[in-house]
Structure 1
Amino acid sequence: MLIERIDTFPLLYQLPQPYGDANGYKKYRSCYLFRITTRSGIEGWGEIIDWLPTLDKGFRERIIPCLLGKKATDRLHLVKTVKKWHQRTAAGVSMALTEIVAKSAGLSVTDLWGGAWREKVPVYASFQSYSERDDWIRHSLGLVEKAVNSGFQQIKVKIGGRTLREDQDHIRSLQHLLEGKIGLAVDANQSYDLAAARQWEPLFRKWARKYDNLLWLEEPMPMNRVSDYKRLRTVLPVPVAGGENLKSAADFLPLLQEGALDMIQPDVMHGDGIEGYRDTLQLGRHFGTRVSPHAFDGGLSRLYALFAHACLAPWSKMDGNKIEPVEWDFMENPFTALVPLQPVNGKVAIPSGTGIGVELNQDILEKHRWDGSTYV
C-alpha cells in the first residue's frame, strides 16, 4: 500500500461575533484537512489545527514529499519522522494512516483497536463564555440553556478571563439556572496562581452542600506547577483536571506520580499520534485516574477521541461500564459539521462502518476553503 497522492483542504471561517476564554477572543475558526490516497485507491483523512499560512507551506514542501511513495503500513515510523518537523501534523498523519490500515483490513477503527466496550459515548457541551457584549453573562446563560434544551446533560464554561467577582456572579447565575440538574465543569485556562484558585474554595464548598453537579475545575494554574496542583487538590471539594496541551504520556507522569490531578485531559491533536494518545489514556487507567479528552478544535480529531473512548475500559468497577465524557464544541463553528454526527441526549453513537465509518461533508470542504489571504 504505497502512498500515491495527498490532497489538502485548508479551511477558514471568520466569526461574525468573536468569543473567547481567559486567553482572549477567537475571531475565526480554522482547520487543515488532508486526504492520503494509496496506489490501490484506499483513502484516509487527517486533520491539523494551526496557523494556516505556515502550516500549508510546510505541509506542501516537507510533509507531502516525505510521505509520497512510502508504505502506508509503516505508520509508526512515518509518524515518528513527521513529528520531528511538526507534532500536530504527526497526529494528523497518524489519523489518515490509521484509517487506511483499517479500510485495507475491512475493519472499523474500533475493531482495529480490539473492539468497542460501548456503542455510545457521552459528551459535554463546551462553551467559550466571554463575548464583547455588555450582557455577556446573559448571553452565556442563553447558550447554555440552548444546549440543555437540546439534550446535553453536562456542560463546561470558562472562568479566569474577568474579575473574580464577575466570574463568580456568572457561575452563581448558571447554578441557579441549572438547579443542580446538569453536570457543570469550569475551566480557567491556567489563568490563576494558587492563592487566586483557592478563592473559589468557599463557593465550591457551598455548592457541594447544595448540589451534586460539580464535575471538575479545569487547569486553574499553569500545568508545570505540580506541587501547587497537589496542594490545591487536597483542599478543594471538586475534582481537579488538566493536561490538554501536554504532548506525550511522559509529560503526564509528574502530575500522576505526585497525585496532582483527579482527571487528565489529553488532546488527540496535541499528542504524538493516535497510538501515543491511546498510551496516555492507558497511563491514566494504570494510575487509577479518570480521563476526559480535550477535543474543542477539530471534528475529525474529536471522532478519534470518541473511538478511543469507546475502546477504553471503564475507570471504576463501581460505575460498571460508565465512561467519562468527551468534549463537544457547542460554539459557532461550521467545521464541527464536517463529521456528520450529532449528540442525542448527551451521547454520540459510534460509527461501525469500515474505517471511520462516515464520509466528511464535501460541501463544507468547498465552501470554506481558505483562499490564501491574510487573516488575524
Structure 2
Amino acid sequence: MKLQDLDVIITAPPAPGWGGRYWILVKVTTDTGIVGWGECYASSVGPDAMTYVIQDLFQRYFLGENPENMERLFRRAYSSGFTQRPDLTVMGAFSGLEIACWDILGKDRDRPIYALIGGKMNDRLRAYTYLYPLPHHNLDAFWSSAEMAADCASVMVDKGYTAIKFDPAGPYTMRGGHMPSMRDISQSVAFCRAIRDAVGNRADLLFGTHGQFSTAGAIRLGTALESFSPLWFEEPIPPDNVREMAKIARRITTPIATGERLTTKAEFAEVLRQGAANILQPALGRAGGIWEMKKLAAIAEVHNAQIAPHLYAGPIEWAANIQFGISIPNCLLVESIETDFHYDLIKHSLKVEGGFIEAPTKSGLGIEVDEILARANPFTGTGLHLEMQDKPCDYETEKFLLKDRH
C-alpha cells in the first residue's frame, strides 16, 4: 500500500466561527483506494501559502511511501532542509498528513487508531468546554460579563461537563507579556467567584490566558485566583520562555498548563525538564501528530505529568485527540467544541454525552467526513486562523472603564 494522492480543503465554520476562521483539512488516498483524513492546526502563514507547504511536504516525503513507516516519515519532515529542530509550519503540515496516515492504517485493518498504538487504556474520556455565548446572550457583552459566564457555566454543568474554561483577563498583544491592570485582576476574580457560586463543586474551573502577561504580572494574577482553586492556570506568559514560566509554577499553588503553541516532544520535554508545567496541552494537528505525542505521553509519565489535548480547530483534530487520549494512562481532559457545524462535518459520528466521550468503535479516526459540506463552506477572508492585537494595552481607558463599572 502506497500513498498516492493529496487534496487540501480549506473550510470555514459559519459565524460566529467557534474553532477559528478556517480549518485546514487534508484528504490522502492510497493506491488501494483507502482515504485518510487529517487536519493541520492553524499556522503562521495564510491558508493558500500553507496549502503549498502541505503539498510540498507530501510530494517530497509522503508520495509513494507506505503509511506504516511513521517514524521514517517523521524523521524526513523533521530534518527537512537540514533543520532537525522544531519548525511550527513544517510540523503543522506534517501533523495533518500523519493523522491521515493513521486513519488509513486503521481503515485498512478495520480497527480504531488506538488499537494500533497500545490499545484501549480508557473506556471514555472526560471532556471540557470553553464557555461560549448562549443563544440569548449579547455576543459583544458576553466576554466581559461574569454574570453571563456563570449562566453559561450552569448550563454546561447541567449537561454533564465537570470542567469549564474561560479567559477574561485582558488583551493578547504582539508586544509580549504585560502587567495586568487592576481591572484585569478584578474582572478575573469576579468571573471565578460568579462561576464558582453558580456551579459549586460540580466542576473544575480552568482559567485560560494566552501568554499575555509578564512573569511578575502572571504571579500577581495567579495569586489573586488561588482561593477559587482552579484546576489550571493556562499559558500565563509567552510560550517561548520556559525558564520564566517555571518561576511562576514555583510561586503559585495553581497547576500550570501549557502547550497549544508548542510542537514536537523536544519543546514539550523542555517544559517538563524546567518544571514549568505539569499539565501539557498538545494540539495534535500542530504538535507532530499522534505517534510523536504518544512519545510525549510516555515522557510526561516519567515526570508525573498529565495530558489535556487542546482544541481550537475542527472535528478531525478532535477525533485524533480522542484516539490518542483513549490510548494513554495520563489523559486528564480533552477539549471539545459543541457546535452544529462541528458535529455535522463528521456526521455526528463522535459526540459528548454527559460530559464524557466514549471510546470510538469504528475504524481509523472513527468518523465519517461530510466532504460536500466542507467544500460548500470555503474560506474567503484574508486573516489568519488566529491573530494577536497590534496596539498596546491602554491602561488609561481601562481606568475609566473601571470607574464607570463602579
User: TM class, shorter-chain normalised?
Assistant: 0.7 to 0.9
TM-score between both structures, scaled by the size of structure 2: 0.78
In structure 2, the CA distance between the partners of 1:61 and 1:172, relative to structure 1 (3 Å rule), is same
In structure 2, the CA distance between the partners of 1:206 and 1:40, relative to structure 1 (3 Å rule), is closer
Distance in 1 of aligned mates of 2:269 and 2:6: 36
3-state SS in 2 of match to 1:269: coil
Letter in 1 for 2:127: V
Distance in 2 of aligned mates of 1:168 and 1:193: 19
CA contact (8 A) 2:297 2:307 kept: yes
CA contact (8 A) 2:57 2:94 kept: no
Q: Name the structure 2 match of 1:8.
A: 8
Distance in 2 of aligned mates of 1:140 and 1:91: 34
Q: Which runs of no fewer than 5 residues in structure 1 stay unpaired?
A: 20-25, 209-213, 316-322
For residue 131 of structure 1, report the CA deviation from its aligned partner.
Answer: 5.5
CA contact (8 A) 2:14 2:341 kept: no
3-state SS in 1 of match to 2:15: strand
Distance in 1 of aligned mates of 2:332 and 2:72: 31
Q: Name the structure 2 match of 1:195.
A: 216
Equivalent residue for 2:306, pick from 286, 290, 301: 290
Distance in 1 of aligned mates of 2:201 and 2:224: 14
Equivalent residue for 1:338, pick from 340, 345, 363: 345
Equivalent residue for 1:98, pick from 97, 102, 116: 102
Identity of aligned residues (%): 19
1:365 matched to 2:360: no
Deviations 1:51-107 (A, max 9, x none): 322123444466357644333333333344345372111001101111212222332
1:148 matched to 2:157: yes
For residue 185 of structure 1, report the CA deviation from its aligned partner.
Answer: 0.7
Q: Name the structure 1 match of 2:111.
A: 107
* Higher mean displacement: 80-89 or 116-125: 80-89
Letter in 1 for 2:97: V
Distance in 1 of aligned mates of 2:143 and 2:342: 27
1:259 matched to 2:275: yes
1:132 matched to 2:140: yes
Distance in 1 of aligned mates of 2:241 and 2:381: 37
Equivalent residue for 1:182, pick from 194, 203, 208: 203
TM-score between both structures, scaled by the size of structure 1: 0.84
1:281 matched to 2:297: yes
3-state SS in 1 of match to 2:153: helix
1:300 matched to 2:316: yes
Deviations 1:307-361 (A, max 9, x none): 1111112x4xxxxxxx41111125x572354232111111101212222232123
Distance in 2 of aligned mates of 1:364 and 1:351: 23
1:250 matched to 2:266: yes
Distance in 2 of aligned mates of 1:79 and 1:194: 35
Deviations 1:176-196 (A, max 9, x none): 212232111101111112222
Equivalent residue for 1:63, pick from 51, 58, 65: 58
3-state SS in 1 of match to 2:22: strand
Distance in 2 of aligned mates of 1:345 and 1:366: 32
Letter in 2 for 1:108: P
3-state SS in 2 of match to 1:32: strand
Letter in 1 for 2:50: L
For residue 247 of structure 1, report the CA deviation from its aligned partner.
Answer: 1.1
Distance in 1 of aligned mates of 2:23 and 2:213: 29
Q: Name the structure 2 match of 1:23.
A: none
Deviations 1:129-152 (A, max 9, x none): 896327741443343333223221
1:309 matched to 2:325: yes
Q: Name the structure 2 match of 1:49.
A: 41
Q: Name the structure 2 match of 1:375.
A: 382
Q: Name the structure 2 match of 1:75.
A: 70
Q: Name the structure 2 match of 1:32.
A: 24
Q: Name the structure 2 match of 1:324.
A: 332
For residue 161 of structure 1, report the CA deviation from its aligned partner.
Answer: 1.7
* Higher mean displacement: 130-139 or 355-364: 130-139
